[in-house]
Structure 1
Amino acid sequence: MAEHLYLQNTMTGRKQRFDPRHGDKEVKLFTCGPSIYNWPHIGNYRTFLFEDILQRYLQYQGYTVNRLINFTDMEDKAIFRANELGISLGELTGSVANRFLEDCRQLNIGLPETIARSTTCVDQAVFLIQRLLENSTAYFHKSDVFFDPLKFKGFGRLYGLDMSRWPARKMRFRKDTYPGQRWNLGDFILWKAWRKSDGDIFWQTPLGKGRPAWNVQDPAMITEHLGYELDICCGGIDNIYRHHDYNIAVVEGVSGKTLAPFWLHAGHVRIQGAKMSKSRGNIVYVTDLHNQGYHPRHIRFFLINGRYRDNLNMTRDQLDLARGRVETFREMAARLTAQTKFAAASDPEARTLVRDLQTGFEKSMNDDLNVKDAFDSLYTTLSGLAEKAAAGHLAQKDAQTAHSRLRAIDRVLHLL
């Protein structure tokens, strides 16, 4: 059995043993939260659930997890959407945030007591930009501020960007985000001077009248709440295009220290083999699955039951299979808990099964959070224990130990 947790590190492309960078039992964990201008879809929740499993399993292993998840509540798309609907930015982002919190409650996604917001970390964003201006990594162009990636050694290393492709001609990219999985080979914006289309979304700062760009908002929230040295950063696979390398460049451009040694990324959810998109009309939300008769625990199980970094294909058949499997698992656990007749002596095979509940679960979870193999092991072992109990071959002490181990494991999976 692997005694230590090994994680597939996007930064190195290898599965590596995880140890906190400072050798203690505290883990500093950043998990990219939603941009709250539109409802998160089922693919977003697949990422949030993988991050939930990671936090819970680290706690299961005895670590104290200091976790940050954030709300991006100020960006081009949010301002455009609010103007389109004729409501304030706060009204728009407030309603989406409430929806997110309710979905997380139903899906048993644990969240920190405080969720950082872009709009509450503007001073820190300004501070970071000022430091980058001082060391000439950033510069003013007209009234905006841009980051020059050529001034940052190792830019694009998370993605593995070929810097030999960098154009000789200076190019600047002013939008917060750009569509698709593409690299903008040029300077990215940090501070956006006020434009009329921004309306009342601006701050008066030493940098001028304007707002922090999306590219500096995560770094501001990270450094304000967790500092400059983290253990793990997580997000969806799309974040390795630009976003997470931008985070690294901004934070490390100020501190000169490694932001995080471990980077983890979750794969996409595909709908009947196709990528989710507005043009296809196949975006699925949590409420859609509720309305189709799936309980939140069925949705949770379906989304966690696999390798988090692999793409997951959602079909009605696969959802039904997940529902049946988790309900059978719950029924077996309930029968074991309700047992009233016990064997007089402990059965060696039963003792082995009780031990296997924990060892089988941990062996798979230590292999890069392999929830599918961990659950399959639990399912098989619990089935064996149920048979022993039905045959009267399970001693009370073994049953109590099995209950205790199942409770501990379920604090990670949250299925019972």
Structure 2
Amino acid sequence: MHAGDLEARLADLRDAMYQASYARNDPARQRRFLTSLFESTGDSDASFISVVEARGYEDEPRFAARPAEPGGWWTALRKRRYLIGAVAAGVVLVVAACSLLIHSVKSDSVAAMTGFPAKLRVGLLDVVDTAPFYRAVDQGYFRDEKLDVEIVKVRGGPDAVRELADGRIDIAFTSYPGAFTAQAQHIADLRIAAAAYTARNSHLMLMGPADGSFTHGYQAPGKRIAVTATGSISDIGTSLALREANVDPKSISWVSLSMDDMIGALSRGDVDGAVMAEPYVTRAERLGAIPVLDVTLGRTAFLPLSGWFVTADQVRAYPEAVQAFQRALARGTADVQRRDERDSVLVKYLGVDPAYVDDVRIATYPLEVDVSELRKVVDLMRNNGFLAAPVDVGRMLIHWPNG
């Protein structure tokens, strides 16, 4: 629901509250008030109104609410319909809630989580890191948790974080460097909802064109190299790998492209190289692209690569929805530890050809967040000039009261 719609609801409820103040001793006004109030919710149940009139305003609530339809906070309000003895007080509470909602929520954001089924907009790009998420979608694990997930494709992790901060998505998939940079720059106060992927050799590769014009790291100076976004694992990992090859990363011209566009750009000569993750690496190789540099080799190998993020405000406001997302994703993560389940997801959701699904390089899907390993990522970024301010990783964890 948009802010304009909420303002209209608020005006209606203020009018209803005014009517309630003088309707108590006037049966005709009571009926007009009840009808108006229920119609404003899209529900003019005449039989219910008649029962309420018969019981009077002073009765205690005695009716079970009808099952709520999907639709967020307004449906949740109807689910808790009281007898009219509590209407005036209830309207006051709703008005206060509407005011807070209007001032704290941008259009159609996580505010929908106040009533289940909750709709979560999940920002991601289609790399193998997201296989647990797609497994959870495929098996209905989110549906089991009364979550309706909407997939929003993003170009890269930093873009996902910005959209999360702006309220355009509710969950962001991103590499850890992109998230830590945003945290250090106060773009958003992020919390790690779940781990996604841990790097292994050959997962993230700098690829050159099929014509063989770029095949070794020492040829990188002056090259146009495509990455999903600057400040992401793509350029940071490549810069670290190039430094180990005695190449100054400042000599590189970084070009921001989505991974979906990289193979075409590489084949046309729009860029000289492209940093890709799986399954794009295998796809590019089968079209003739040449591996130039293993971005996850050396210091960046075996480190946490990516995760799922929410904001601190969302954790405070909608803990049930965040926990439900975590539970569903955890089931998907457990499933993709098995190769057959994982391969089915790669083929169905990530566009991997069944003929070469065995060639896709798979690293590790962690079952939990490893704080000590994440601190190594922060130290690596700080020591190499990619992070201007320290980041307290421990503070970014979600600590639920129930453990």
TM-score, scaled relative to structure 2: 0.25
- Higher-Rg structure is 2
Higher helix share: 2
TM-score, scaled relative to structure 1: 0.25
